[in-house]
Amino acid sequence: MSTPAPGALSDIRVIEMGQLLAGPFCGQLLGDMGADVIKLEPPGAGDPMRLWGQGEEKVQWEVIARNKRSVTCNLRIPEGQQLARELIAKADVLVENFKPGTLEKWGLGPDVLLADNPGLIIARMSGYGQDGPYSDRAGFGGIGEAMGGWRYIVGDPDRPPARMGISIGDTLCATYGTMGVLAALHHREKTGEGQVIDTALYEAVLQVMEGLVPEYDHNGFIRERSGSILPGIAPSNVYTCKDGPFMIGANKDAIFARLARAMGRPELAEDPRYATHLARGRHQTELDDLINAWTSTLTIDEVDDLMIEYSIPAGRVYTAKDMLADPHFKAREAIIDVETETHGTLKMQNAFPKFSKSPSGVRRPAPSEPGQHNAEVLSELLGYDEARREELAAAGAL
């Protein structure tokens, strides 16, 4: 892996506190864009994310902790709290996802930190936000997905609510938190002022729920689970070929006409049941059955070739194995090789989005051990020598 350019945020220092997913994913995004991310981990086992993931060897940590330096810090004792305060005073951004009130309990509330460092940006991520009647409740991403409306509409109509196979509530919250940090950095550039960004899991999910709320408010309509379709949007579904599933999205009139020709059934585009968007929506099930009967006679390659020939949005339903074999992923460098300290060369998603002038990238692998960068960071930022570090370690702070 070649070392990429510094990145757009190369002059920004981030202290990341918190565990599992929302805070650390925000730190990953900022680190990918070039920020110097210093992750504070509890002494000993470190962040539980080190043990997360699927398969015999847990490698999810290698993605979420890339571009970070690890410093151990026991936030539950005064010596550790003081150490954190000193580090935060040297930072541009603090990212945390503790239960509201936790920082304040440790003497690290925004009033204290902003008094030390008036330009500090504090990105706070929690289940329900920093205020309101639910703010002191424990909250995980799945709970935010349920409260924000996501879980209710995911799955088949005759089954209980389902979930996406990833922690989408956490990553949405982190993504909005990252957007907030970037906007706050712009505000600070103009005014010199830091500020607090309050990001709630359920509100992050709510942001992507499209017309769900106004549809109920204005029409009394409640969206229900609809399986693999979006009701009224047809044809747009996963269809069965001889050798597996294939996605086709031909819900625009002109595109559906091209699909009809690709199927050898041009008359379908003139059929009153399918000629318009609204008509196709009313006859969605029978149209899907008709298309599925056609795709089931062909292989994925055969259908794919026809979709390309007739310029119809369509594609294979990829697994990770398919991604690694696909030439477009390779050409775009969407997946890269990273030399990790624990697992050797590991393929993972590249930094995203792409920048033409200040490219993001993976500059360093995830720290293999909690506190791996204690000496480096504490010397560089705070001027601590070995004697001072040993003193902190003896007190249980490191």
**Looking at the annotation, which residues are catalytic?**
170
Q: Phi and psi for 168 in degrees, rounded to 5?
A: -65, -35
> Bridge-partner residues for 349, per DSSP?
335
CA angle 186–177–72, rounded 5-degree value: 105
225 contacts 167 by C-beta, under 8 angstroms: no
Which CA distances in Å does 351 have to 306, 335, 348? 33, 9, 9
CA 47 to chain centre: 18
Strand segments, DSSP code E, in the chain are 13-17, 36-41, 68-72, 93-96, 121-126, 195-200, 236-241, 244-249, 314-316, 335-340, 344-349
State how beta strands 195-200 and 121-126 pair.
Answer: parallel
Strand segments, DSSP code E, in 294-353 are 314-316, 335-340, 344-349
> Bridge-partner residues for 244, per DSSP?
241
State how beta strands 314-316 and 335-340 pair.
Answer: unpaired
337 contacts 66 by C-beta, under 8 angstroms: no
Tokens at 356, concatenated: 């033409």
d(CA 54, CA 68) in angstroms, rounded, equals 22
d(CA 325, CA 211) in angstroms, rounded, equals 37
DSSP conformation letters of 89-119: TT-SEEEE-SPTTHHHHTT--HHHHHHH-TT
Q: Which SS3 state, helix, strand or coil, does residue 195 take?
A: strand
d(CA 343, CA 238) in angstroms, rounded, equals 36
Residue with tokens 């951004």: 93
